[in-house]
Amino acid sequence: MTETAAAAVTETARPNRLREFWYYFRENRGAVIGLWVFAVFVFCAALGPWIAPHDPTQQFREYTLLPPAWQTGGSWEFILGTDPLGRDMLSRLIVGARYSFFVGVVVVSIAASGGILIGLIAGFSPTWLDAIIMRIMDIILAFPSLLLALVLVAILGPSLTNAMIAIAIVLQPHYVRLTRASVLSEKQKDYVTSARVAGAGLVRLMFVTVLPNCLAPIIVQGALSFSTAILDAAALGFLGMGAQPPTPEWGTMLAEAREFILRAWWVVTFPGLAILVTVLAINLMGDGLRDALDPKLKRS
């Protein structure tokens, strides 16, 4: 505490935002653990095919449904066992990380960029346009997200790409509402008025003056919807409406393993565990982000 106070006195410049953020983020132990797990997940996603012990689609026909190595009958060649077609579980899980990561990144980018843009427009537009935009968002929100995603995929055809588009559409209204709410409260403030008086145009006002000050809740929402996207994509895969076999996507793997649940626990347990651990890590990070970015909750 005294350290930061001293730093604030000596440095007249703005304190380093990243360092300040890290200072608060580090206080939350769960968030740091989440960050480490997420780092491992990103590592698997980036280097999957090179670190996996086997090819995820190669079928070892003489080793079907082999239990994990520590069980009787298991082999250290297939640490987490093999699936009904003799494919190595561990390799499939490692390579599967990239599908989930890809889903998260694409969905959040589409939903956030679209949502922020629409939210900014709604916040700055005349009342009638704002009302129309918000009613449209209400309409999307009236449908349970998974149901709407399912129906959209039924229209577009089942594939991972279409599942991502559907989930992005479903998640978008949350960004619109969040951005609009922040914009409306920021617009009242003096710095926006002074920027306007100084002659800033509408576009500058929207993107340069107001937007950076609305970002904190949006970033937190980004983390949360990253995990929602992974869960929804896995659920769609599980229902047969997402990634199609033999893609080693975790939800699709679970769907394929369903009929073996009473005979081979490992084909069911590990893909789900991978989803749970990833989503949990991201949610832990999200909590840490919220604590670090939300000035109201900061314990000063």
Partner 1 sequence: MLKYLASRLLTFIPTFIGVTLISFSFIRALPGDPIVVMAGERGLSEERYAELVKQFGFDRPVYVQFWEYLTGVLQGDLGNSFVTKKPVWDEFFALFPATLELSICAMIFAVALGLPAGVIAAVNRGKFFDRALMSTALVGYSMPIFWWALLLIIVFSGNLGWTPVSGRIDLVYYFPNATGFMLIDSLVSGQKGAFASAVRHLILPTIVLGTIPLAVIARQTRSAMLEVLGEDYIRTARAKGMPPGRINGIHALRNALIPVVTVIGLSVGTLLAGAILTETIFSWPGIGKWMVDSIFRRDYPVVQGGLLLIAVMVMIVNLTVDVLYGVINPKIRKR
Give contact residues for partner 1 (rule: CB under 8 A). Answer: 30, 135-136, 138-139, 141-148, 150-151, 154-155, 157, 227, 231, 234-235, 238-241, 251, 254, 258, 261-262, 265, 268-269, 271-273, 275-276, 279-280, 283-284, 287
CB of 233 to partner 1, least distance (A): 11
CB of 44 to partner 1, least distance (A): 18
Tell me 249's DSSP state: -
Cβ distance to partner 1 smaller for residue 211 or 222: 222
CB of 295 to partner 1, least distance (A): 17
Query: What does the DSSP assignment read for 90-144?
Result: HHHHHHHHHHHHHHHHHHHHHHHHHHHHHHHHHHHS-HHHHHHHHHHHHHHHHS-
Please say whether the beta carbons of 170 and 148 come within 8 A: yes
On the CB side of 118, CA atoms within 13 Å amount to 21
Q: How many residues does the chain have?
A: 300
CB of 191 to partner 1, least distance (A): 25
Cβ distance to partner 1 smaller for residue 51 or 276: 276
Cβ distance to partner 1 smaller for residue 176 or 241: 241
CB of 199 to partner 1, least distance (A): 34
Cβ distance to partner 1 smaller for residue 66 or 236: 236
Give me the residues paired with residue 82 across strands.
88
Cβ distance to partner 1 smaller for residue 20 or 287: 287
Instruction: Give CA–CA dist 127/122, Å, rounded.
Output: 8
Angle at 265 between CA 262 and CA 268, to 5 degrees: 100
